[in-house]
Structure 1
Amino acid sequence: MSWKAIFEGIQSFTEDVLFIPLNALRSEELDNWWLANSVSWILMAIGFVAFLYWMKQLKTFNDNNEEDKTSTSHPYL
């Protein structure tokens, strides 16, 4: 078995199995815009929630003065 066969197997699995839901949505693209873009909306919502969580954690660490704010990356600074 060669490396080329391994990568072609990964390609085949990805295109034939993992992309089945996306291929189904692609066929609905002209009929229903909201359904065709549902994956994008879901990923945007996940990113927005993750961003809010990240900002909350940064505020928590900033309020507790746990962050090291000394600049020691370059001695000439």
Structure 2
Amino acid sequence: MRAFFEGIQWLFENIFFALHNYLRELERVCWAGANTINWIFMAICAVAIVYWCKQLKLHQDSGQEDQDTTAHSFLK
């Protein structure tokens, strides 16, 4: 049974967390290089927020959005 759990430990430490270990070692050499993935995710989120806000504005301007408080039966 112990070998089973040690096998799971090996799998997670050596396979699943290999990228995390690489980034941890890279941070000691180059902070910006290790945080590049964070900057990429922040840029993707910023683009998604801008797109979402533009779509909300588009729907609001076209009158498709029902702003009536009685639009749902449970709000009456």
- Scaled by the length of structure 2, the TM-score of the pair is 0.70
Q: What is the aligned length?
A: 68
Larger mean Cα displacement after TM superposition, 14-23 or 43-52: 14-23
Q: 1:40 is matched with which residue: 24, 38, 41?
A: 38
Task: State yes or no: 1:74 paired with 2:75.
Answer: yes
Counterpart amino acid of 2:22?
Answer: A
| Long gaps (5+) in structure 1 | none
| CA gap 1:12/1:60 in 2 versus in 1, 3 angstroms | farther
Work out which of the two has the higher radius of gyration on C-alpha atoms and give 1 or 2.
2
Aligned 1:26-65 pairs, distance under 5 A: 26-65=24-63
Counterpart amino acid of 2:63?
Answer: N
Distance 1:16 1:69 in 2: 54
Distance 1:41 1:23 in 2: 19
Root-mean-square deviation (CA, aligned residues, Å) is 2.5
